[in-house]
Amino acid sequence: MRIGEALSLDDHDFDAEQGMLIVRHAKFGKQRLLPLHATTLSALQRYRHLRDQAFPRPVSEALLVSSAGARLRYVNVSETFVKLARRAGLAARPGGCRPRPHDLRHSFAVATLLDWYRDGGDVAARLPLLSAYLGHVEPAGTYWYLHAAPELLAEAARRLGPGPGAGR
């Protein structure tokens, strides 16, 4: 999810029975369903239980709330992420750019594509699924992940086989 999509989630957007999130305020005014992994579903259920104990009379419809019970704000989430990244020892990338919340989304997309390459499946046929999950308008918006990760380029090259003149 994009950080703005996560911050816009209301409590009723989490369907624990179906194991889904409804992203109503997606980019380009779209909406989509996100199936949740069992571990994510469990974590959200635990979070919701603790949140409801702390705030039995909600001050916000938000699924994710601050320590005051109000909807999380982007600036606060970003500041907290920076602090946690420093505590975890995550170094800045070349050029001084520190890890950002959006990098988690990128890591998910790259890891998914790598898994697909490594399991021998048809990546091109699966790409529309990842594209829809990420909320891209079309798969072309997802292709840039292929260019952004050397591991993906290596897997794609491996699939192509030896180049001209190989084995000489």
Residues 141, 106: Cα–Cα separation, whole Å: 12
- Residue 156, in any domain of the structure: yes
Tokens of 146: 């292929």
Residues 6+ apart with CB under 8 A from 31: 22, 23, 24, 25
Which residues have a catalytic role annotated? 2, 27, 102, 105, 136, 145
User: Are 10 and 83 part of one and the same domain?
Assistant: yes
In terms of residue numbers, what domain contains 71?
3-87
We report the CATH number of the domain holding residue 46 as 1.10.443.10
Over its length of 168 residues, how does the chain's per-residue pLDDT go in tens digits?
A: 888 999 999 999 999 999 999 998 777 778 889 999 999 999 999 999 999 999 999 899 999 999 999 999 999 999 999 899 889 988 777 776 778 888 888 888 888 888 888 888 888 888 888 888 888 877 777 777 666 677 777 777 777 666 555 555
The residue to which tokens 């950080």 are assigned: 3
Task: For the chain, give the number of residues.
Answer: 168
Q: In the prediction, which pLDDT does 47 show?
A: 97
- Residue 57, in any domain of the structure: yes
> Count of domains in the chain?
2
Instruction: Yes or no: say if 71 and 11 are a contact pair by the CB < 8 Å rule.
Output: no
- Residue 72, in any domain of the structure: yes
Where does a domain end: 87, 115, 143? 87
User: Are 60 and 112 part of one and the same domain?
Assistant: no
